[in-house]
Amino acid sequence: MSKKIAILGSSGGNLYTLGGKDPKSLLGETAQQIRAAGMEIGAIQFIAAEASMDFVKPTTKAHLWTWDGDSFGIVFSGTLEEVNHAAVEKDKKIAQLIENGEIDGLILASADPDGANKEAISAAIKTKIPTTGTGGTSMAKAQSKGLNVIAVSGTTGTTNRIRAVASISALSKHFGIKYRAAIGNAGEIDTSGSILSRISLRGILMASLPGFIAMALTLFISKIPGSPESVTKLFDVMIAALPVIVAAVASKQVSGMNEVAIVAGVVAGTLSVSGGLIGGIIGGIIAGALVQIFLMKCLQWRFPATTANIVAGGLAGLIGGLLVYFIIGPLALMAGNGIRELINMALDFSPILCGAVAGLLIWPAIIGGVYHAAILPIVMLEMEKTGNSFLGAIDMCGLVMVSAGITLANIIYPRTKDEKALAAPGFLINVVFGTFVEAAYPFMFSNKIVFGGALVSACLSGAVVGFFGVRGTAYVPSVLAPALSNNSAGFIVSMLVAAASAFVITVVANKIARAKDTKKDKEAAIG
């Protein structure tokens, strides 16, 4: 039979600023870790004030959160004084559960042993059930009364997840239960596999993409005529920041430990700058892996949560960064430069042929799931040095503008009225945001001519990109994209060729389809 755990306490004083003011997150993280350990929630009594308990008044608004057997939620709201009175009744019920042996352990969060949690804590003292939690003063009071406290965590420098992991780690060890921290979002459980299974280059780069677009925008700003030197240096600053961005994202995703992992990633990324984009990713991955390892080891060794957090975040980031700085960085930089050099060699050999082939393959790549795994990393490697990319230009022309041309054709001359309504949002998103090429899928997959037209249009526009030697980027408004390229006029021509070709072919395809539909209707009417 699984162990049942009760969560008691309040949003606290210092705790309030470190997650206590968000009871849904605090309770959700704790509930998630309880389930990950194969245990159950037996009861919840949590008083959430709308201010730190260090500064509250009896009239401060507050809420009482409890457990109904399936989920937690607010059961009473009012002034803090009113909520405390309501909490006393819940306290008596939880005390009865403890005395009846229906609660096996307690997690306290800034609890009140002399007030709202008096009865439950007294019952826990009598039954000697194991207790863990946070709140220096309250935990000391409870312990002095004889409460069986097996672990106490500080709140300074911690998060809701770290404190939850610390509490469940201590209880699991006490009960002899095997426990692996859940790293998914609150409400999910992801204790899956090894650290290696959580390393996703695609996930890291997609999450880091806004940083690359910000860098491209600084390139545009730095090109404004008459800009002071401080403005023209913005691009260089952003270039240097890219390894830090990808390292922070990589560390967070690999460890699943939120803030502490982000700090470790920033430390690792700062030391990995010499290794470029690849160095930053490697440094972040190492830091993220070490964060989880160090954190769990520290908690197993009964370190306070604050200490475990500092050790995990600081040492993990430092070790990951130093490995890249002294050993991996030169190799990572060499690899990145090698990939860029291969692209330049291909363009030097035949830019038009290279562009045409890239354009022809871009749609099969994204439909087949290869784009984000292979092409996007190369785009970002190119952008790392120049702020724009040959394949980025192919992306904007061959995917975004072709999709825009297909959807525009279905707005102006749709096969059916329903397709017009379907195409309009896709066209607007492609033009305004430079993404959502999937808007063309319904029309491409339902008509072979449209599908073939997309391939032809992408190939043709790719050849034009190669002819003009254009480097650019997608994921930005189409009207802004030319300004972020190395050849604005050439990019505009390439984009127009892509959109116009796709538009014309789609209109022709729709006319043919309409004619066939009309013929079928007539034959059906005659028959």
Instruction: Identify the band that residue 370 occupies on the pLDDT scale cut at 50, 70 and 90.
Output: confident
- State the helix-helix crossing angle for 276-300 and 376-386, rounded to 10 degrees: 110
Torsion of CA 109, 114, 117, 121, to 10 degrees: 90
Residues 337, 347: Cα–Cα separation, whole Å: 15
Count CA atoms closer than 13 A to 65's CA, side-chain side.
23
Task: Output 301 or 431, whichever has higher pLDDT.
Answer: 431
Biggest CA-to-CA distance, the chain = 95
- Reported as a single tens digit per residue, the pLDDT across 218-234 is 877 877 777 777 777 88
Exposed, middle or buried, 79 (CB in 10 Å: 0-12/13-18/19+)?
A: middle
| 402 and 425 co-located in one domain | yes
pLDDT of residue 191: 41
Which stretch of 128-132, 219-223, 276-280, 329-333 has the lowest confidence by average pLDDT? 219-223
Instruction: Identify the band that residue 315 occupies on the pLDDT scale cut at 50, 70 and 90.
Output: very high
Contacts of 67 (CB under 8 A, 6+ apart): 7, 41, 42, 43, 44
**In-domain check, residue 437:** yes
Nearest-5° angle of CA 112, CA 116, CA 122? 75
| 169 and 225 co-located in one domain | no
Domain count, the chain: 3
Which stretch of 3-17, 40-54, 156-170, 513-527 has the lowest confidence by average pLDDT? 513-527
**In-domain check, residue 180:** no
Exposed, middle or buried, 61 (CB in 10 Å: 0-12/13-18/19+)?
A: middle
Cβ(10)–Cβ(65) below 8 Å: no
**In-domain check, residue 433:** yes
**In-domain check, residue 184:** no
**In-domain check, residue 477:** yes
- φ, ψ dihedrals at 422, nearest 5°: -70, -35
| 335 and 373 co-located in one domain | no
CATH of the domain at 17: 3.40.50.9100
- Reported as a single tens digit per residue, the pLDDT across 19-47 is 899 999 999 999 999 999 999 999 999 99
pLDDT of residue 295: 86
9 pairs with which residues across the strands? 46, 109
Show which of 342, 376, 391 is a domain's final residue. Answer: 342
Helical ranges in 301-386 per DSSP H = 305-323, 329-349, 351-367, 376-386
| 171 and 203 co-located in one domain | no
| 27 and 166 co-located in one domain | yes
Q: What is the mean pLDDT of residues 162-185?
A: 87
Q: What is the mean pLDDT of residues 122-150?
A: 92
Residues 144, 37: Cα–Cα separation, whole Å: 29
Instruction: Identify the band that residue 190 occupies on the pLDDT scale cut at 50, 70 and 90.
Output: very low
- Reported as a single tens digit per residue, the pLDDT across 259-300 is 889 999 999 999 999 898 899 999 999 999 999 889 888 888
Show which of 342, 360, 377 is a domain's final residue. Answer: 342
Buried b (16+ CB within 10 A) or exposed e, 209-247: bebbbebbbbbbebeeeeeeeeeeebbeebbebbbbbbb
Residues 363, 372: Cα–Cα separation, whole Å: 12
Q: Please tell me the total number of residues recorded for the chain in this structure.
A: 527
| 368 and 324 co-located in one domain | no
Residue with tokens 């009175």: 85
Amino acid at 90: K
| 207 and 141 co-located in one domain | no
- State the helix-helix crossing angle for 448-468 and 351-367, rounded to 10 degrees: 140
Q: What is the DSSP code string of 95-134?
A: HHHHHTT---EEEEES--TTTTTHHHHHHHHHHT--EEEE
**Mean pLDDT, all residues of the chain:** 89
pLDDT of residue 185: 55
Judged against a pLDDT cut of 70, whether residue 431 lies above it is answered with: yes
Residues 165, 177: Cα–Cα separation, whole Å: 14
**In-domain check, residue 45:** yes
Judged against a pLDDT cut of 50, whether residue 192 lies above it is answered with: no
Cβ(477)–Cβ(432) below 8 Å: yes
Q: What is the mean pLDDT of residues 112-121?
A: 94
**In-domain check, residue 438:** yes
- State the helix-helix crossing angle for 305-323 and 259-271, rounded to 10 degrees: 30
Instruction: Identify the band that residue 113 occupies on the pLDDT scale cut at 50, 70 and 90.
Output: very high
Judged against a pLDDT cut of 80, whether residue 168 lies above it is answered with: yes
pLDDT of residue 194: 63
| 169 and 233 co-located in one domain | no
46 pairs with which residues across the strands? 9, 65
Q: Which of 70, 79, 63 minimizes the C-alpha distance to 22?
A: 63
| 145 and 282 co-located in one domain | no
pLDDT of residue 206: 84
| 333 and 365 co-located in one domain | no
Which stretch of 179-188, 336-345, 407-416, 419-428 has the lowest confidence by average pLDDT? 179-188
Show which of 320, 342, 364 is a domain's final residue. Answer: 342
Question: Is residue 207 within a helix (H) or strand (E), and if so which, with residue range?
Answer: helix 201-222
Which stretch of 178-187, 338-347, 428-437 has the lowest confidence by average pLDDT? 178-187
Judged against a pLDDT cut of 50, whether residue 189 lies above it is answered with: no
pLDDT of residue 255: 85
Share of the chain above pLDDT 90, in %: 58
| 27 and 102 co-located in one domain | yes
Judged against a pLDDT cut of 60, whether residue 188 lies above it is answered with: no
Cβ(61)–Cβ(77) below 8 Å: yes
Contacts of 135 (CB under 8 A, 6+ apart): 9, 12, 15, 108, 109, 110, 111, 155
Three-state SS across 141-195? Answer: HHHHCCCCEEEEECCCCCCHHHHHHHHHHHHHHHHCCCCCCCCCCCCCCCCCCCH
| 445 and 358 co-located in one domain | yes
Query: 50 is in which domain, residue-wise?
Result: 4-175
pLDDT of residue 184: 60
Q: What is the mean pLDDT of residues 99-117?
A: 94
**In-domain check, residue 182:** no
Other residues' Cβ atoms within 10 Å of the Cβ of residue 444:
24
- Reported as a single tens digit per residue, the pLDDT across 459-516 is 999 999 999 999 998 888 888 899 889 999 999 999 999 999 999 999 999 999 888 8
pLDDT of residue 284: 95
Cβ(415)–Cβ(514) below 8 Å: yes
pLDDT of residue 54: 86
Judged against a pLDDT cut of 70, whether residue 139 lies above it is answered with: yes
Q: What is the mean pLDDT of residues 342-353?
A: 91
